[in-house]
Every structure is written in C-alpha cells, then in structure tokens.
Amino acid sequence: MNDSFTPWPTADALPPIVAVPVSSEEIERHHRAHSLTYRYLWSTYFHALEDAAMLPRPIHVSVQTVTDARYRNDCKYTQYEDFRYFCYTLSGVGAMSDASGTYLLPQGHAFLLEKDNAEAAYFYPPHGVEPWTFLAFDFNGLPAHAMTRAVVGKYGPVYALSPDTPIIKRLLGYEANGHGIANIHVADGAQMVVELLLALMTVGRAREETDPVIELVRRAIAMMGDGEEAVVQDVARALGVSREHLSRCFQRRVGMSPRQFCLEQRVRRACLLLKDTDASIKTIAAQLGYAEYSNFVHAFRQVTHMTPTEFRRRGFLPLAQLFSGGE
C-alpha cells in the first residue's frame, strides 16, 4: 500500500499555507514514534451542546510533558487536522519553527500555528536539559482560521504571556475535569477562542509600542496631516531622518509611501465631505488645499477610480474597498 494523503480544504477551513503529499504509512509511523515521547498530565475534550458550524470552536485542551529528546511534531504529518494550535510553556523550554525561523520557548512563552501548515514544527530543543511541560489548546472554525492566519501574519508565531492572563487561567482551569469531556454552549466556546486570539493581539500590539519604526511613522503621521509630497520632505527633516528612510519605514509598517498615505488621507476626507455635506465639489477641493479643481479630480480618481461627482451619486461608506493602497 502506497497511498498518500493530500489535504483538502472544507467549507469551514482555509486552504493550508503549504501542503505536501505524505504517505499513509509515513503518517502512521510518525504517530507511533511520536506517541512514545510525551505524556498527558490531563486532557479535556470540548463538546458543544448544539451545532457550531462556521463559528470558532474549541476542540481540546491539555497539559503535556516531554522528557524525550526525540519529541518532534512536524505538521506535515497533521495536515489532515484542520486545527489551529496554541502551546504555552509552563516549565522547561520547547521550540518551534516555521517559514519565518526557529524559536525557543522558555517558561511564559507561547506559539500559535496552523496544524495543517507543512512548513511548521514544534519540538524538544536539541540541548534541552529539563522536561518541557506545556498547555496545549486546539481549536477550529473558519473565523478562527482566518484570525489565526491574520494574527501570525502581523505579529509572528511567538508571544510572551503572563500566567495571570485571564485566558491562560481559564484554560488551565479545565484541569479539574481531569481526563474528560466538557459540555459547553457554542457561545462560550466561540468566546474562549476569540479571547485567546485577542490576548495574543494585545501582546503583539504592546511589542509595537517599543518599535522605533512604528514610533517614527506615528510622529510623521501626526505632523503630516493632509500634506502633499513637499511637506513629506519637511517632516523627514524635522524628524532628523532622510526622506528615503521615512519612505522605507512607511512601506514597512503602513504598506505604502508617505506620498500615497497623504493622498489617501485627503481623498478620505473628501469622500466624507461629499457624503455628509452639501458643499460644492469646488468648495471641498479648496478646503483640502487644492488650488486647481482639475488636480483634485485627478487625485480623487487615482485613488477611488471614480470622479467626485460619481462618488457623491453612487459611492458608499466605509471606504476601505475603494482604496488601492498603492501608487
């Protein structure tokens, strides 16, 4: 027998980030060997008391301990599991890797990954000297899949969390169930998953607060207002950086140049004025600092792909779908 497994997305799951064919025999061999390298201290499966299709759903929470240096779970062997996986170190040190790199996970550190991402793995570090004990939480549901991918894409796979974080305490509270099943309402299950993802986003945002690039961009935005390209040069000079450096920082953190950011800010204001006031288009153009009406129309069309008159007649708010995000 030499059949292989290739993951197939369901309506309630995103397609895997990376998928590779793996034979059934190889998967079975991996699981047999892997099961000998760790043990559960306790394990609780969740059972929703009603159908929870398309909602975030907790699947399983446990505390596991690893003492065997062979412990390694390559996610290419779990591609059939459309779960998202959160792992929080309680003691010792673990490790994980994905396309972004390899990370050590000392006490109080966690990772988040997609269990069907064939590029990801988590394992006992090669030079580990003490048992690795961790809290593990599996969950799924399309919104949870999408949020997980977005959170990891923005903030990376690794997070430092206090043991007093409410969701950590909540998950550890299932130790009282021992090896059992927890019957929960679908709303409580969805809340549990979302609470975890929001806690990780809070950690990610706090890291950004100490990022000098973020701080530079924030200061620049506050100074630029709705300025034009000439003002961008002045802002860079006032911040003590070159225009090129400021542009690189904007591209990295905002996804566009300062010039494009200023342009879109002005056009956003124009859209609001067109929808919320009866002011003439020429008056709005003047309010936004356009000396020439034709320049305003050109800039507006460049961003929204319609004229101010067309937007006033058939445009809509919110504005996100109108903006190209590029020059």
Per DSSP bridges, beta strands 158-160 and 121-123 are: unpaired
Question: How many angstroms separate the CA atoms of 84 and 18, rounded?
Answer: 14
- Bridge partner residues of 179 (DSSP): 43
Q: Residue 14's pLDDT band (boundaries 50, 70, 90)?
A: confident
- Bridge partner residues of 57 (DSSP): 140
CATH number at 286 reads: 1.10.10.60
Question: How many angstroms separate the CA atoms of 319 and 271, rounded?
Answer: 8
- Of 189, 209, 229, the domain-final residue: 209
- Phi, psi dihedral angles at 62 (to 5 degrees): -160, 165
In the 8-state DSSP scheme, what is residue 88? E
Amino acid at 295: N
The yes-or-no verdict on residue 322 having pLDDT over 70 is no
Mean pLDDT of 138-159: 94
- What are 107-134's pLDDT values in tens digits? 999 999 999 898 999 999 998 889 999 9
Q: Does residue 327 form part of some domain?
A: no
What is the domain extent for residue 257? 212-322
- How much is the mean pLDDT over the chain? 88
Q: Domain check: are 181 and 239 in the same one?
A: no
Residue 72's nearest CA partner among 107, 25, 35, 106 is: 35
Mean pLDDT of 49-61: 87
Q: Domain check: are 51 and 177 in the same one?
A: yes
What does the pLDDT read at residue 230? 55
- Of 209, 224, 250, the domain-final residue: 209
What does the pLDDT read at residue 11? 58
- Overall domain count for the chain: 2
- Which helix (H) or strand (E) segment holds residue 193: the answer is helix 186-209
- What are 243-285's pLDDT values in tens digits? 899 999 898 888 889 988 888 888 999 999 998 999 999 999 9
- What are 274-320's pLDDT values in tens digits? 989 999 999 999 999 898 999 999 999 998 889 999 999 887 765 55
- Of 209, 230, 263, the domain-final residue: 209
Q: Domain check: are 162 and 230 in the same one?
A: no
- What are 17-41's pLDDT values in tens digits? 877 888 889 888 988 999 999 999 9
- Phi, psi dihedral angles at 294 (to 5 degrees): -65, -35
- Cα 86 to chain centroid distance, Å, stands at 13
Residue 57's nearest CA partner among 134, 115, 142, 135 is: 142
Q: Domain check: are 151 and 232 in the same one?
A: no
What does the pLDDT read at residue 208? 81
Residues across the chain: 327
What does the pLDDT read at residue 320? 53
Cβ neighbours of 112 (radius 10 Å): 23
pTM of the model: 0.75
Q: Domain check: are 183 and 231 in the same one?
A: no
